[in-house]
Amino acid sequence: MASCLSRLCLTSRLGGKTMRTIGCRGLNTSHISMMPKSSSSESTTDNSVEKESSKKRGKSTQVPSYEQGKVSRSGVELRFKYPEMFPEPHMIWRNPIKEKLERKDMLARRSRIYIPEFYVGSVLRVSLSNFHQADKTSTFVGICIQRNECGLKANFILRNVIDNLGVEVKIELYDPRLLKIEVLRLEKRLDTHLRYLRDAPHEFSTFPLDMKPEIRRTDDVPLNRIKVKLNPRPWTENWYKYDFKGIDNIEDQITNKMNRRRIQLRKPWEKYDMMKTYRETLPEEEINEILSEIKEDVEEHEQKHRRRIN
């Protein structure tokens, strides 16, 4: 029971990365049905349980603390702060030595550049050195619409609208040309990726290039529950096929046939598929092992950065 309760706390921190690499094998969604009634069913099934509901519950006896699970609070934070540190759980592509060497390289790069915590939906400013303008650095401001891959291949896509034209930049996280990453607004969104902003009105992905970083009052990462209205079809992808929580008007935009297809493609049973969860998640022990390996370096790195700011 303790493990299933700690799962809730873990999922509450879940941000941009998909469940696949962040999920934990020891803790299964199917246990959630055993939860006490005080937490609503909607919030339990939601991947990103908002902070508000946890606040409402307060610190009652039914609500588990982080200490109840095997992973400590700081460990949990690390796990969602640095999703690319955890390998793809596909067994035939894995090799422990390669993963170890890769982690070492990632930490080596992190000793040179501060890579902050950010999620899909956060607004970032990124500066890169550019071969074609050697005397300057090129900077870009935009919303992170996707985080891809693990290990040194990790990358993210920033989107902004400049002169009424949508612009996207794909940036490798461990590229040595990357000079600085600055988080202007740290928040999460309802979905694991926001590629549908490509088919939304420009206002949803417009950010001023001289945007200043917002001051954070708490350590918690707020969840932005904004719902986007899509432009009429044609779209770049068939958004109606997936259940996005962050799209408001999808049913107005599609035909009856599409709607039927949309209902047909739903897979409500998948959250009860224990084998699927098993295949697509890392075992809890392995996560703890990796965390214990990287923890010291990462904390030192954070402190160093804090000192630099102060």
Partner 1 sequence: MMAALRARAISLFQGILCNSKSNSSALDVRFQVCVTQVRSHKIIQIPRFRHPYWHVRKDRSHYSENLTAENKEFIQETIAKEFGPPTVVSGVQTYGSPVKNVTKVEPVEWFPGIRRTSTIARKIGIQPMWLKDGTRVMCTLLQIVDNHVVKYNPPENVIPLRRREKVVPKKALGRYGALVVGAESADPQEFTKNYCGLFRESGLPPKRRLARFLISPQAVLPPGTPLNAMHYRAGDYVDVTGFTIMRGFQGVMKRWGFKGMRATHGVTKTHRRPGNIGAGGGKARVWPGKKMPGHMGGKTRTLRGLKILRINTEYNVLYVIGQNVPGQINSYTYIHDCLLQHRWVREAKDARPLPTYIPKEGETHPEDIYAADVHPFDGSSIMYEVVDTPTVRTGAKIAKAKGGKK
Token reading at 71: 């992973």
Specify the residue for token string 């799209």.
Answer: 247
Among 44, 129, 138, 253, binds partner 1 (CB under 8 A): 129
Among 111, 231, 238, 303, binds partner 1 (CB under 8 A): 111
Say if residue 215 is exposed, middle or buried (CB neighbours under 10 Å; 0-12, 13-18, 19+): exposed
Token reading at 10: 């873990």
Residues 6+ apart with CB under 8 A from 36: 62
Q: Which is nearer to partner 1, 1 or 101 (CB)?
A: 101
Specify the residue for token string 């945007």.
Answer: 211
Among 46, 117, 175, 302, binds partner 1 (CB under 8 A): 175
Q: Considering only the stretches 33-41, 53-61, 124-132, 163-171, report the one whose residues sit in contact with partner 1 under the rule CB under 8 A.
A: 124-132
Would you list the DSSP string of 188-214?
Answer: B-SSS--GGGGGS-GGGG---TTPPPP
Q: Are 126 and 178 in contact (CB under 8 A)?
A: yes
Q: Which helix (H) or strand (E) segment is 41 a member of? A: helix 41-45
Q: Considering only the stretches 54-62, 106-114, 156-164, 279-287, report the one whose residues sit in contact with partner 1 under the rule CB under 8 A.
A: 106-114
Per DSSP, the chain holds a count of helices (H) and strands (E) of 10, 5
CB atoms within 10 A of CB 160: 21
In the complex, the smallest distance separating the C-beta of residue 111 from partner 1, rounded to whole angstroms, is 6
Strand order in the sheet with 178-185: 165-172, 155-162, 137-148, 123-129, 178-185
Among 1, 2, 101, 265, binds partner 1 (CB under 8 A): 101
Q: Which is nearer to partner 1, 96 or 268 (CB)?
A: 96
Q: Which is nearer to partner 1, 34 or 92 (CB)?
A: 92
CA distances (Å), 180 to each of 86, 130, 141, in order? 23, 13, 12
What does the chain come to in residues?
Answer: 310
Q: Considering only the stretches 48-56, 97-105, 234-242, 277-285, report the one whose residues sit in contact with partner 1 under the rule CB under 8 A.
A: 97-105
Q: Which is nearer to partner 1, 212 or 308 (CB)?
A: 308
Site for partner 1 in 75-94 (CB under 8 A): 92-94
Residue of 167, 144, 177 whose CA lies nearest to 15: 144
Q: Which is nearer to partner 1, 102 or 284 (CB)?
A: 102
130 scored as a contact of partner 1 (CB under 8 A) = yes
Residue 188 and residue 222: Cα distance in Å, rounded?
A: 6
Integer-rounded Cα Rg, in Å, for the chain is 20
178 scored as a contact of partner 1 (CB under 8 A) = yes
169 scored as a contact of partner 1 (CB under 8 A) = no
Q: Considering only the stretches 32-40, 131-139, 227-235, 288-296, report the one whose residues sit in contact with partner 1 under the rule CB under 8 A.
A: 131-139
116 scored as a contact of partner 1 (CB under 8 A) = no
Among 153, 225, 227, 266, binds partner 1 (CB under 8 A): 153
177 scored as a contact of partner 1 (CB under 8 A) = yes
98 scored as a contact of partner 1 (CB under 8 A) = yes
Residue 37 and residue 35: Cα distance in Å, rounded?
A: 6
In the complex, the smallest distance separating the C-beta of residue 176 from partner 1, rounded to whole angstroms, is 5
Among 36, 176, 201, 213, binds partner 1 (CB under 8 A): 176
Among 41, 65, 95, 255, binds partner 1 (CB under 8 A): 95
Q: Which residues bind partner 1 (CB under 8 A)?
A: 92-102, 105-106, 108-109, 111-113, 129-131, 134-135, 151-153, 172, 174-179
